[in-house]
């Protein structure tokens, strides 16, 4: 009887291992529901990337657990778009739970003391910190990443947000919290790279990031607004009204929850 039970346990373990392995090999990009914040998971068979973490550890960990098997405890590159808590703060917990190989940032300078503490912790853990600038590129066996912004230091931290164009089976434009000054720069420098299938709308749909010319260049199939309960009125109705002219689908994570794109 003991041998039979052990045999059944072994069979179950093998079956679960096969299932989790199959899940782990799936290529996907997922705009995660992390409340009022941003977090995008990009994964293929070999590599895992995370663009921002949101503010709340419980929410980001809940979402990541849906896509990574329990034995997968590494993130190849954690991109932190800029020093706003709703973009980076849950990274403290990510660093406890996962082996992060590289941290990619737009700036090391900030008045945010918690951001400074986070970078100090990263250095203590001997994780390389790469400061990305316009023109930086990353390639793996499926995805390629092109950094479109920032090109310089800006007075407003929102405008220093790391803007990524990602190429896979589909194309993606991730925009952090850029506002009009940064958007104008993107239009002037990188218009030919702005077209994207999936567009992460800047600044949670804030009216301060509306730019019709920008939207017309991106011309997305899906405009994604990562947002949760907040005191700012995000997404602003003005933004929604303008977006409708340029995208046939507007996906809100506060309503439709996590968006998964299979690659």
Which domain CATH number covers 210?
3.60.15.10
Q: How far apart are CA 52 and CA 40, in angstroms?
A: 7
* Position 252 in a domain: yes
Running DSSP on this structure, what letter comes out for residue 9?
Answer: H
Number of structural domains in the chain: 1
* Position 167 in a domain: yes
149 with 185: CB under 8 angstroms?
yes
* Position 38 in a domain: yes
Residue 160's SS3 state is: helix
What is the distance, to the nearest Å, from the Cα of residue 57 to the centroid of all Cα atoms in its chain?
Answer: 15
**Element of type H or E holding 241:** helix 237-243
* Position 249 in a domain: yes
* pLDDT band with cut points at 50, 70 and 90 for residue 70: confident
Q: What integer pLDDT is reported at residue 3 of this predicted model?
A: 53
Per-residue model confidence as pLDDT tens digits over 29-56: 999 999 999 999 999 989 999 999 999 9
Which residue in 240, 256, 234 sits closest to 36, CA to CA?
Answer: 234
Per-residue model confidence as pLDDT tens digits over 117-161: 999 999 999 999 999 999 999 999 999 999 999 999 999 999 999
* Position 121 in a domain: yes
* Position 8 in a domain: no
* Position 174 in a domain: yes
Domain range spanning residue 65?
Answer: 28-257
Which residue in 58, 126, 67 sits closest to 89, CA to CA?
Answer: 58
* pLDDT band with cut points at 50, 70 and 90 for residue 166: very high
Running DSSP on this structure, what letter comes out for residue 60?
Answer: H
Running DSSP on this structure, what letter comes out for residue 246?
Answer: T
Q: How far apart are CA 61 and CA 39, in angstroms?
A: 11
Q: How far apart are CA 226 and CA 224, in angstroms?
A: 6
Query: Phi and psi dihedrals of 158, rounded to 5?
Result: -55, -40
* Position 19 in a domain: no
Percentage of residues in the chain with pLDDT exceeding 90? 87
Query: Phi and psi dihedrals of 237, rounded to 5?
Result: -60, -35
Is 5's pLDDT higher than 60?
A: no
Per-residue model confidence as pLDDT tens digits over 242-258: 999 999 999 999 999 99
Q: How far apart are CA 73 and CA 255, in angstroms?
A: 30
């Amino acid at each position: 009887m003991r041998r039979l039970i052990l045999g059944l346990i072994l069979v179950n373990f093998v079956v679960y291992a096969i299932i989790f392995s199959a899940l782990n090999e799936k290529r996907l990009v997922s705009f995660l529901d992390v409340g009022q914040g941003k977090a995008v998971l990009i994964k293929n068979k070999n590599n895992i990337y995370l663009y921002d973490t949101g503010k709340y550890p419980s929410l980001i960990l809940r979402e990541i657990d849906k896509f990574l098997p329990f034995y997968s405890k590494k993130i190849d590159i954690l991109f932190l778009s800029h020093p706003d808590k709703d973009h980076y703060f849950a990274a403290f917990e990510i660093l406890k739970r996962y082996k992060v190989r590289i941290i990619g940032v737009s700036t090391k300078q900030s008045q945010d003391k918690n951001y400074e503490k986070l970078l100090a912790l990263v250095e203590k853990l001997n994780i390389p910190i790469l400061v990305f600038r316009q023109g930086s590129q990353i390639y793996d066996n499926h995805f390629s990443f092109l950094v479109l912004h920032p090109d310089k230091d800006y007075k407003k931290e929102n405008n220093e947000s790391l803007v990524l164009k990602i190429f896979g089976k589909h194309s993606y434009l991730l925009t952090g919290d850029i506002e009009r000054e940064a958007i104008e720069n993107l239009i002037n420098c990188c218009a030919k790279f702005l077209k994207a299938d999936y567009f992460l709308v800047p600044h949670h749909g804030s009216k301060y990031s509306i730019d019709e010319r920008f939207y017309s260049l991106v011309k997305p199939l899906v405009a994604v607004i990562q947002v949760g309960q907040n005191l700012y009125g995000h997404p602003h109705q003005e933004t929604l009204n303008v977006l409708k002219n340029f995208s046939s689908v507007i996906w809100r994570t506060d309503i439709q929850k996590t968006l998964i794109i299979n690659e």
